[in-house]
A and B are shown apart, each in its own frame.
Chain A
């Protein structure tokens, strides 16, 4: 007889977004308990709680790796944005403007360049999605595999491999930081431009942020085939 199958969606989410070397054991325990006496609600509750619990455990246990991943990700994001956005808007008057007196405005002009740039409405949606998706894919791929390391003697900066069981945690952290920064920027934006103007941009901005986050998660390998991470 085939054992009772746990909810597929919850299993998929935990398999792809659960961090650390215990993820496989947690999935096995949940499946076993579900077969014995668990309800669908119980399984979903356990799986959805396991994702943040394992994420924060990983970040807490590997603070230095997490900090390096954030640094690597944002350095790459800024470099990627500076390289790709101007190419996409070549020949237009769209660009990044840094004003020390208005740091939040500078961040808007950089992070939301594909959305706020005065391009034709025909191109606005594809650009708002495609550009952050490309930058996100590249940054996510690199953050999930490499981290910046500094060496004192001789003084140098090099890249080293991220351990496999730490990949999910660092990619989620970087994607989360992008989401958080965008949410923090949204408040002042609404207050500055007014709710009516902000409403006009809201769809494009949401698509832009979603594309950035999905790009990082996809590039970081979180949607791919997650072969089992060996328990340490």
Chain B
């Protein structure tokens, strides 16, 4: 029974991959950053949060490109905010994770936890 469920889950994952619906690494990181930032999630804060957590430089334009794609899938929503002189009078675009986005993150978390379980390499037992 367990094997059948695992196979069904695997097939479902393959189908999602084929449709381009699965969450990539960067997609997942962005959704988690939105959850951490809450109301204050816009380009600058999202990039800073990702850089602080991963230590890697983030291309701001790729944050927008990915969030646009996630918005098309209904996983995030966006709204225009205020502008400041230091932004050259340009408005901020705030992003929020939707209910569907949270469900998707939970699903990815479950799948990853299942995959991580029982791997000796990740417990530092093997190189």
A residues with a Cβ closer than 8 A to B are 3, 18, 20, 22, 24-33, 35-36, 42, 45-46, 49-50, 53-54, 57, 61, 228, 231
Contacts and interface: CB of A to CB of B under 8 A. Distances in A.
B62 interface: yes
Contacts of A29: 42-44, 47, 60, 87, 92
A3 B85 contact: yes
Interface string B71-91: 010000000100111111011
Given A3-B85, A33-B44, A50 B90 contact: no
Contact of B65 (A24, A35, A53, A231): A53
For the side of the interface on B, what is the size category? 20 to 34
A57 B42 contact: no
A43 to B, nearest CB: 11
B102 to A, nearest CB: 24
B61 A49 contact: yes
Interface of A is mostly: helix
A50 B59 contact: yes
8 contacts: A3-B85, A22-B68, A25-B91, A28-B92, A31-B88, A32-B87, A46-B60, A61-B72
Interface of B is mostly: helix
- Counting chain A CB atoms within 10 Å of each CB, the highest count among B43, B59, B65, B80 belongs to B65
Interface of B: 42-44, 47-48, 57, 59-62, 64-65, 68-69, 72, 80, 83-88, 90-93
A225 to B, nearest CB: 15
A24 B91 contact: yes
A57 B42 CA distance: 19
Given A26-B43, A57-B65, A231 B91 contact: yes
Contact of A27 (B42, B47, B86, B88): B88
A126 B88 CA distance: 41
A30 B62 CA distance: 13
Nearest to B65: A57
Given A57-B65, A57-B68, A61-B68, A31 B86 contact: yes
Nearest to A25: B93
Nearest to A49: B59
Contacts of A49: 59, 61-62
Nearest to A42: B57
Nearest to A18: B61
A134 B86 CA distance: 41
Given A3-B85, A22-B68, A24-B90, A32 B59 contact: no
A41 to B, nearest CB: 11
